[in-house]
Amino acid sequence: MSDALKTSGMTRLRNYFLTGFVVCAPLAITAYIAWSLIGWVDSWVKPYIPARYNPDTYLPFPVPGFGLIVALVLITLIGFLTANIVGRAIVNFGERLLGRMPLVRGIYGSLKQIFETVLSNKGDMFRQVGLVEYPRKGVWSLVFVASEKETEINQKLDQEGDPLIAVFMPCTPNPTTGFLMYVHKSEIVLLDMSIEDGAKLIVSAGMVAPEVKAKLVTLNGEPVEGGLANPSLGAQPARSSRTASSRPNR
């Protein structure tokens, strides 16, 4: 009896530890990443802050996050100035100068287009999650549907009534790397999960799958609230409904 109680107590302690670990680990990792990001920004911004405005010069301890606050204020100020005519003219002048530099103009142009696409509100980023049969028949890979815009690729390879769609196939566990593919629309199986859920599925290597919404069960044509009329009967009401409807009328 004592051995059973001891085993039960150890099992309970183990479960408590695992529960605490599940709660604390994400918080600790998130705090570490946030603290590292704040420290990285501070290390870049604080050296350029004048000593009279830098609290680290007259306080006995450093102020974490001050550089990040200054960076956010400066970025917002630049955005405000760029929104008017004078600021926009200065930005256009700087872009023309960069456009004359062979290597720099390619890097700047690509980065600008990526940021404008990601941060725009036009919905040109990834819109849906889907599946394509890759790398062979019977094996399915998760993809993000990128765009259905008319491009030269569509004009060259488009089949009548079955347009090509740009999809991005991310790699596990880093979804920022992957493959760009053009797939016929008829070969893509669209999913109901969000882009965020798809990214979680990829990062976790399939361990964190989004919850599937329960399908509505009907009983004699009437929707049953909560899915099932009687949980103890399982799917029995749905089967009895189909059986009754399949009997011939006398």
Residue 41's CB is within 10 A of a number of other CB atoms, namely 18
pLDDT at 245: 42
Which CATH number is correct for 128-203, 3.10.310, 2.60.120, 2.30.30, 1.10.3470?
2.30.30
The domain ranges of the chain are: 128-203
pLDDT at 132: 93
Q: What average pLDDT does range 83-105 have in this prediction?
A: 85
State the virtual CA torsion across 193, 195, 201, 205 in degrees, nearest 10. 150
Angle at 225 between CA 224 and CA 228, to 5 degrees: 60
Higher pLDDT, 168 or 247: 168
Q: How far is CA 56 from the centre of its chain?
A: 37
Provide, rounded to the nearest whole percent, the portion of the chain with pLDDT above 70.
76
What is the 3-state composition of the chain as percent helix, strand, coil, each rounded to the nearest 5?
A: 55, 15, 35
CA distance 130 to 197: 12
pLDDT at 210: 77
Contact 216, 227 (CB under 8 A): yes
pLDDT at 232: 39
Higher pLDDT, 84 or 223: 84
CA distance 38 to 25: 20
Tens digit of each residue's pLDDT (9 = 90 or more) over 193-234: 888 888 888 888 888 877 766 544 444 445 544 444 444 344
Look at phi and psi of residue 123 and say left if phi exceeds 0, alpha if psi is from -120 to 50, else beta: left
Most confident of 35-49, 83-97, 104-118: 35-49
Contact 131, 191 (CB under 8 A): yes
pTM of the prediction? 0.55
